[in-house]
């Protein structure tokens, strides 16, 4: 928030542009386009900020990490915009200065575009004035960090800041021109992506379970559809629990020969099949419609599974632990600097694992566990009753096969690759211990 205060004495411009350090402007007309929204005499007075989508310039074709977010940019964000406001990303955004100063919108508000630093001041005087605004004690016992500037105390200070602005009566605009306004760098290793999503999902969950929840803070201030739109991301972390159940329990029961789904010949099987086919068909159609390839869609499904069973799970545990006073959340930076060999592997579509990580242990355990369950469970069912024995276990077998197939890059990093981006032996050893204990209990 230093930049807000310092710029107020240097330029005092009515509009402020905010971008991340790894992003750059890709469209010289982005400033003009944003000003067109603010300067609209009929509908621009209540616009608090104009948000451009996030796009990346280092993403390769058929990106293995599902970095292209075309569906989010082309479908999800316009839907939020239709409900009266796009959330603040924290980058690629033009803010009306008054919104970051805690101004509440009123119908008689009118921007003074002629406002500015009227009297030219000496550079030394400006420097001295600016120094007083950046001291460590300046914000003590002031609204800065609470009602003014960017909200403190949350890993997702940008989202909660945007929500507060909207709850003060301001409207936001989402603008996605054909030529991308800003480009940045996407993470190019699995560890970077998982850390990034852990921070995001933890921040979203903290907001959703606090007094700043869209349903509490936004009640009567923003539309219900927008509140629900925020909550889609707000409860990412809690989705980890049902996902973790479905990658462990059905496979474990398949290994034991216990059926948890209706038999394939039963009419009760139809709802399960319908939900799976309809959901994934719709998801694939959306991706293809937004310019993704089928391979990119498949890679996105893999990352969806990995994020839910690692990043989201740990984020939920940390958030709940923090609420109980057991643990304290920390801010984890996403490192986006890669060595040349890792970058080459990324371009070839090889998943980068590298250093030892607890998240990799979870991923490897799930992959090995489902592989063992598929081989042993299938063998036991066929040896005991032949193909007829698979009837009650058919849906579990299909689920187990799907998990095994989607984890193909994990098996490659385990059994085939020997480069620095493969899975460390220690991770494999720990995962085998977990898999052995689970399988022995089932058998």
Q: Is residue 147 situated within a structural domain?
A: yes
- Which residue, 168, 186, 204, sits at the end of a domain? 186
Q: Is residue 211 situated within a structural domain?
A: no
**pLDDT for residue 327:** 66
The mean pLDDT value for 102-108 works out to: 82
pTM value is 0.88
Distance CA 123, CA 10 (A): 9
**Residue 172 and residue 262 in one domain:** no
- Sign, CA torsion 86/90/94/98: positive
DSSP 262-323: --TTSTTHHHHHHHHHHHHHHHHHHHHHTT--HHHHHHHHHHHHHHHHTHHHHHHHHHHHHH
CB neighbour list of residue 381: distance below 8 Å, 6 or more residues apart: 257, 389, 390, 393
Give the ranges where 97-223 is alpha helix by DSSP (H). Answer: 97-100, 123-133, 157-167, 190-208, 214-217
The mean pLDDT value for 422-428 works out to: 92
CB neighbour list of residue 171: distance below 8 Å, 6 or more residues apart: 46, 47, 48, 84, 85
**Residue 257 and residue 148 in one domain:** no
For residue 35, give the CATH number of its domain: 3.90.550.10
* Residue 436 clears pLDDT 70, i.e. is over it: yes
Closest CA to 370 of 276, 279, 254: 254
The mean pLDDT value for 407-430 works out to: 93
**Residue 242 and residue 182 in one domain:** no
**Residue 250 and residue 137 in one domain:** no
**Residue 143 and residue 258 in one domain:** no
**pLDDT for residue 338:** 56
Distance CA 180, CA 56 (A): 9
**Residue 177 and residue 248 in one domain:** no
**Residue 271 and residue 349 in one domain:** yes
Q: Is residue 331 situated within a structural domain?
A: yes
* Residue 151 clears pLDDT 90, i.e. is over it: no
Q: Is residue 194 situated within a structural domain?
A: no
* Residue 333 clears pLDDT 60, i.e. is over it: no
* Residue 295 clears pLDDT 70, i.e. is over it: yes
Q: Is residue 352 situated within a structural domain?
A: yes
* Residue 245 clears pLDDT 90, i.e. is over it: yes
**Residue 254 and residue 124 in one domain:** no
Distance CA 85, CA 168 (A): 12
**Residue 159 and residue 286 in one domain:** no
* Residue 413 clears pLDDT 90, i.e. is over it: yes
The mean pLDDT value for 140-162 works out to: 77
* Residue 435 clears pLDDT 70, i.e. is over it: yes
- For the chain, the average pLDDT equals 87
Domain that holds residue 365: 237-442
**pLDDT for residue 264:** 86
- Which residue, 186, 221, 250, sits at the end of a domain? 186
**Residue 254 and residue 322 in one domain:** yes
The mean pLDDT value for 415-429 works out to: 91
**pLDDT for residue 90:** 87
**Residue 166 and residue 252 in one domain:** no
pLDDT tens digits, 185-199: 988 899 999 999 999
Output the CA–CA distances (angstroms, integers) from residue 384 to 263, 305, 380, 397, in the order listed: 18, 33, 6, 16
Q: Is residue 220 situated within a structural domain?
A: no
The mean pLDDT value for 341-363 works out to: 90
**pLDDT for residue 427:** 94
- Which residue, 124, 153, 186, sits at the end of a domain? 186
**Residue 245 and residue 367 in one domain:** yes
- Helix, strand or coil for residue 64? coil
Q: Is residue 105 situated within a structural domain?
A: yes
- Sign, CA torsion 181/187/192/194: positive
Look at the chain and report how many structural domains it folds into. 2
pLDDT tens digits, 108-147: 777 766 665 555 667 767 777 777 767 777 677 776 766 7
Q: Is residue 118 situated within a structural domain?
A: yes
- Sign, CA torsion 12/13/15/21: negative
Here the tokens at position 124 are 């030394």
């Amino acid at each position: 928030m230093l930049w807000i205060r310092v710029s107020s004495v240097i330029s005092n411009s009515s509009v402020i542009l905010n971008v991340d350090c790894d992003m750059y402007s890709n469209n010289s007309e982005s400033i003009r386009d944003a000003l067109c929204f603010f300067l609209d005499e009929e509908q621009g007075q209540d616009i608090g900020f104009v948000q451009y989508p996030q796009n990346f310039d280092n993403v390769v074709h058929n990106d293995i990490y599902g970095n292209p977010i075309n569906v989010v940019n082309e479908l999800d964000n316009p839907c939020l915009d239709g409900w009266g406001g796009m959330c603040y990303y924290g980058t690629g955004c033009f803010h009306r200065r008054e919104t970051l100063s805690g101004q509440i919108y009123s119908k008689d508000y009118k921007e003074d575009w002629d406002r500015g630093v009227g009297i030219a001041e000496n550079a030394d005087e400006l420097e001295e004035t600016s120094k007083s605004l950046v001291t460590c004690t300046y914000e003590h016992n002031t609204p800065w960090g609470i009602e003014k500037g960017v909200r403190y105390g949350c890993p997702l200070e940008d989202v909660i800041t945007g929500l507060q602005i909207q709850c003060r009566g301001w409207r936001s605009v989402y603008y996605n021109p054909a030529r991308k306004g800003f480009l940045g760098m996407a993470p190019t290793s699995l560890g970077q992506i998982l850390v990034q999503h852990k921070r995001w999902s933890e921040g979203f969950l903290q907001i959703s379970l606090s007094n700043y929840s869209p349903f509490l803070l936004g009640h009567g201030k923003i539309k219900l559809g927008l509140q629900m739109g925020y909550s889609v991301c707000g409860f990412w972390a809690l989705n980890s629990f049902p996902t973790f159940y479905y990658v462990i329990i059905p496979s474990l029961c398949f290994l034991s020969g216990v059926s948890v789904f209706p038999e394939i010949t039963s009419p009760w099987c139809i709802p399960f099949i319908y939900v799976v086919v309809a959901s994934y068909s719709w998801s694939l159609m959306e991706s293809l419609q937004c310019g993704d390839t089928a391979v990119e869609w498949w890679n996105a499904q893999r990352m969806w599974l990995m994020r839910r069973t690692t990043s989201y799970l740990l984020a939920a545990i940390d958030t709940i632990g923090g609420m109980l006073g057991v643990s304290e959340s920390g801010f984890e930076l996403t490192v986006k600097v890669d060595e040349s060999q890792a970058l080459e592997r990324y371009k070839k579509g090889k998943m980068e694992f590298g250093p030892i990580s607890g998240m990799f242990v979870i991923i490897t355990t799930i992959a090995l566990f489902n592989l063992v369950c598929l081989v042993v469970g299938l063998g036991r069912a066929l040896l005991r009753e032949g193909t007829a024995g698979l009837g009650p276990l058919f849906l579990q077998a299909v689920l187990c096969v799907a998990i095994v197939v989607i984890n193909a890059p994990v098996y490659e990093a385990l059994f085939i690759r020997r480069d620095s981006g493969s899975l460390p032996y220690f991770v494999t050893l720990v995962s085998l211990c977990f898999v052995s204990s689970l399988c022995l209990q089932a058998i």
